[in-house]
A and B are shown apart, each in its own frame.
Chain A
Amino acid sequence: MKDFWHRFRANKGGIIGLALLAAIVAVALLAPLLFPGNPWKMVARPFVPPFEGMKFPLGTDTVGRNVAAGLAYGGRVSLLVGLVSTLAALLIGIPVGALAGYFGGRIDDLLMRVTEFFQTVPSFALAIVIVAIFQPSVVSITLAIGIVSWPPVARLVRGEVMSLRQREYIEAAILQGLSTPAIILRQILPNAVSPIIVMASLMVASAILLESSLSFLGLGDPNLMSWGYMIGAARTVIRQAWWLSLFPGVAIVLTVLALNLIGESLNDALNPRLSRRRS
């Protein structure tokens, strides 16, 4: 563990990413304290430009809502959806990949055809359809993102499990009379955890992007403020009020960047042999 932290620290990007993400998470968590009251509430005249007073540092939007409050509350939705939908994707992808990789043969064929079915349908279009069918809500959006993003997890886990299955220690476990579930859960998966963690950190980022895109199209949860919704609502006035789309846009970029930096750094720390050579 100490060793891991040491290697993680060796990559400056990871530290920057971690600090950035910590700041974003802190603002999102503290939103009700920083901005008491509903972010949907109109608090001033519309189109107050940013940096003109301490009261509305990032200005107000088309109907006079506080942009800063919107960003803080929107962060809660983005992070929550990103995290939960990634967990959902892992929950589907890991078992599918593990079973396909361990048993091979027909089971592998069957599970991989199903996976390919999901991979061949454009994921964004599928997400739109799912959200549209189930009515836009946080639950349906999270579910939709989870459903469209598990296939890469399944493929990754399948490949890892296939190669780990050939190891002598797995054969030794078979000879020791361990049951198949015990071998998969206790011998194989713990050794495949590193690439899964790396992939998951990057998936949170892409889930946040997907959620923003859905909200941008107006398929977000109508009761919750979100970054994508803010950009979507501001696109008609982009020439008069640049700040309405810029700030949520920057928020998305920074969050995704932070997660990517962390993912990269995790990759270096967890797979020291694969990482670029440090001299």
Chain B
Amino acid sequence: MDIEPTLSIEHLTVDLPEGADRPHAIRDVSLQLWPGRTLCIVGESGSGKSMSANAVMGLLPKGVSVGAGRILFGGRDITHLSEAQYQELRGQGIAMIFQEPMTALNPLMRIGAQIAEVFEAHGRLAPAERAARALQLLREVGIPDPERAQFAYPFQLSGGQRQRVVIAMALALEPRVLIADEPTTALDVTTQAQILRLIKDLQTRHGMAVMFVTHDFGVVSEIADDVAVIELGELVEQGPAEKVLKAPDHPYTRRLIAAIPTVEFRDEPAREEPLLRVRDLVKEFRTGARVVKASDHVTLDLMRGETLGIVGESGSGKSTLGRAIVQLVTPDSGTIEMDGKDISHLRGAALRAHRKRIQMIFQDPYASLNPRARIGRILTEGPIAHGRPRAEAEARARELLSLVGLKASAMERFPHEFSGGQRQRIGIARALALEPEIIVADEAVSALDVSVQAQVLDLLEDLKQRLGLTLLFVTHDLRVAGKICDRIAVMQKGRVVELGSVEQVFRAPREAYTRSLLDAAPGLEVQP
């Protein structure tokens, strides 16, 4: 190629402050961004992928600095610019979009004014033209009804619309490089698909170079031209997307790609014996005059020994259903029956005694363990509260730890001494401590890296077989649901719109909504 790269990172090393878990956030990384092409930087959490994006923008946190190498933008070294020079560069030369659009926007400013402010900050356009250009940008990023939307505040927009506004701001000064740091991670799948399409579209139209930081190989396969894989700060593989995804050289890349959950159809006989029956469950949340129906006459059966997936986008009521089943929320009406008895109105001691039959695994492994309790206490206090002698409970806790693949010495340690995946294993051990019949997993693997996610999914599957558990698996990720579930219930706006075996739902979805979810899921492949 005889064209110049728009941005070129040469042997860049970013130093971490002393006392961090490694000396360099990234070490000796070289990358090129070409006009009109998208480079995906892929890595797991802590790999340093975001640091490389921040280094380009001059947004390194305090104590972190560029140790060696340089970043060339249009032939000019931008590694050691002053703050004023960076301000000149940001927005005009290189623009960035962030993961969480709500926090990237000023909540007190109308969005039209926020876009116009970009021009003002760089002294572009006459004041009168700025608003007009802002409106034009909103139209370009596909905000519905832009004439009205320009006067809206960020909270009045949906997550996807907010991300569109952030993109409009990034595009305002026609930058030559767009850096996107996990821009779709906080969004629903259908919205994610739209935003990915928008970025792709704008890129071709403006001939920008895009640097797209992500942890999700599904997204990579949708959007990347080139791929760079980073493991613990080292660039382990880079090349055209086609090659890296289909024939990866490096074992780490191969491991990451192998860890992506794939849909599996099982030929197990359908299970017919209902363990839990949910009938006409209604739960509404009110804030002022606004009523949200989180559960709108939900009816379903959970069969003994099966894994039932509840999938849906945010706000579909899937979590509320899971929480109603474990009785963290009380339904407004309807029943939840176990062994022919309605359990949704138990109170006091009867409820506490019943709780051991249904346990839950939580989403956030960092928030679900008491930071001031040792693992031993976390695993024993439930059984002790149910009348087990302490010694017995402790012996059982050690067994559980080995069951979930941790050492018995973990008993004496605190949660912060473990990684996210290990903590999730502790969360699973805690759920098992009371020997429940049903486990509700609420987005139990969503916060984990793909390789860890695969391990935890395997563990759950294994435990389920060995202990004869019944699993209710709440997730937004169709790939995960397709891998682990026997049946899937698709929820939308508090209703179950489709319920069937994995094979039926994936191969022959009855509902248009299910089909749109399947289409939007990045990197989802189902053999027809």
Contact = CB atoms under 8 A, between A and B. Distances in A.
Contact of B355 (A168, A177, A277): A177
Contact of A176 (B63, B362, B430): B430
B381 A190 contact: no
A182 B370 CA distance: 14
B385 interface: yes
A178 B371 CA distance: 17
Contacts of A182: 381, 385
A167 B430 CA distance: 16
A171 B386 CA distance: 17
A194 to B, nearest CB: 10
Contacts of B430: 172, 176
Interface in A162-191: 167-169, 171-179, 182, 186-187, 190-191
A177 B369 CA distance: 16
Contacts of B364: 168
Given A190-B372, A277-B62, A279-B62, A176 B367 contact: no
Interface in B318-375: 326, 328, 352-353, 355-356, 358-360, 362-364, 367-373
Contacts of A169: 367-370
Contact of B368 (A172, A179, A279): A172
B367 A168 contact: yes
A274 to B, nearest CB: 16
Interface centre among A168, A176, A279 (most CB of B within 10 A): A176
A177 B434 contact: yes
Contacts of A176: 355, 381-382, 385, 430, 433-434
B53 to A, nearest CB: 22
A26 B406 CA distance: 51
Interface in A137-179: 167-169, 171-179
B219 to A, nearest CB: 27
Nearest to B355: A177
Interface in A14-32: none
A177 B359 CA distance: 10
Interface string B50-67: 000000000000110000
B150 to A, nearest CB: 35
Given A175-B328, A177-B353, A177-B382, A191 B360 contact: no
Interface of B: 62-63, 326, 328, 352-353, 355-356, 358-360, 362-364, 367-373, 381-382, 385-386, 427, 430, 433-434
Given A168-B362, A176-B433, A179-B352, 12 more contacts: A168-B368, A169-B368, A169-B370, A171-B328, A171-B360, A175-B359, A176-B355, A176-B382, A177-B352, A177-B382, A177-B434, A178-B382
- 9 cross-chain pairs, A with B, having the tightest CB-CB distances, nearest first: A176-B382, A168-B368, A177-B352, A168-B362, A169-B370, A168-B367, A177-B355, A190-B372, A178-B385
23 contacts: A168-B363, A168-B367, A168-B368, A169-B369, A171-B328, A171-B360, A171-B362, A172-B368, A172-B427, A173-B381, A174-B328, A175-B326, A175-B328, A175-B358, A176-B355, A176-B382, A177-B352, A177-B355, A177-B356, A177-B385, A177-B434, A186-B381, A279-B62
